[in-house]
Chains A and B, each alone.
Chain A
């Protein structure tokens, strides 16, 4: 799929974002972030500093009280959440968000809701996904809720990839998964970046894994930027970067 002709250097940019669940109580207090195209940007920080809140705000589940979100240089603050997928922005929440009582195939097909009338493209995309995750082809008729945690993540990812989003917001993809599966999930993410050139923004508690695969790292502290830099720099000076 061809992407926009006028490509900005940064696929996603967040400027001075103030977000909160209540009007006068901001969890994010002026966060700035840029995600370079085709790279994996990790956002790290202690529990409760607002990492997940940032992703929710970028996707529009929370309305910013101030500040802007740009996708490919376009301001998207006012685009309704459900239309953001059509801009090539996708979100994988921390909580497993599959449709539990629907079959695996229906789950994945619903990912193509925005082009539901294009039967041929739906079939093609479904096939692509089954090739990406062969296990899902075997279990296509099963209710998605009966799958294992790792496989549910696969369903989620497959559903998300139906529309070929260019920017993926991923929130703690391995929370609650077994150790062996974690590696698998991170490999899936790196593969998406390396093979398909996706821009990925990863929020995670698994610092070790995140630092292994990230290209650029942001560290948040209590709703504000603390440090940022290419992964190598951050790893070189962990003391300065971290809250430990």
Chain B
């Protein structure tokens, strides 16, 4: 019996992981009658990448950045501008060249912002990144010659011949979906590699107590900047690829607004921002849920009540009208309530505890490792990695 149980514990995560991956892979075939849902799937993957990379920055490293969407937009715009055929800076690069360039720009700016933010603690960092994100958005909106202004910038779309063939068997949006899936898997691999390296422990140590981490010899400056740069680049990659894909081809500055950012944060938090996979699953699930809620009608009783009182409500100045009589407008309200309740009662999110339960064995191991790091027993490893010139440098 015990061995059965052990096998079960050991292979359940793998089985579920493979099933999940398989589900993601066959989804466009399963939904080949309704390309819309494949499109939604690609969007969901886009949000999943953003949510999980934000979780890397906020949940693992404790840097509550509100500029994540701004980096997404920055990379997209940088890529779009060098890819144009005419106008300022137009170099007519192909997406294959311009997307890496955009990601690089996001990385460099991320390095700069990460460096500037070193002195700032949680709340101040949040404030600074909000300011940065808003400045960037407003500049993109104002510099019409360079960015196309509020109407957006048209981007070259990429064509992947080996994926184009799929449209015949799956759906029109299959190439876009599979590209996003590839980016999603790639970024998860990168982030998990990072988190499971020694740096993962450093990330958490810095989050728990920066001074203590510095005292243990963790190079706080390097760790914080690394987290910032990596997550910015991943956000940039997701943004650039997503907007260059055949289904989109345009980017508008308002995608960088704080409202969109709050969507990403809400997804990561509801999923569980202390776990990359949980944040990603949360985002996938919530994006689908939101789209699905758009479809279902309001309960009849409520609907008839609203219709009966529509005139009264409008006389009061409520702008319900057409929009208010669908669930459409209210799904986000429900989402907001879910967010706040999650924060209040399930600080670790809704998906993350489930995942941790499934991965109990590994979770225990990780906890033990975290404790070891905190107790300073991991210092042998630390020595190899950390340039120990001034451990206090990042402490201020």
A and B touch in the complex (CB under 8 A): no
Interface residues of B (CB under 8 A from A): none
Interface residues of A (CB under 8 A from B): none
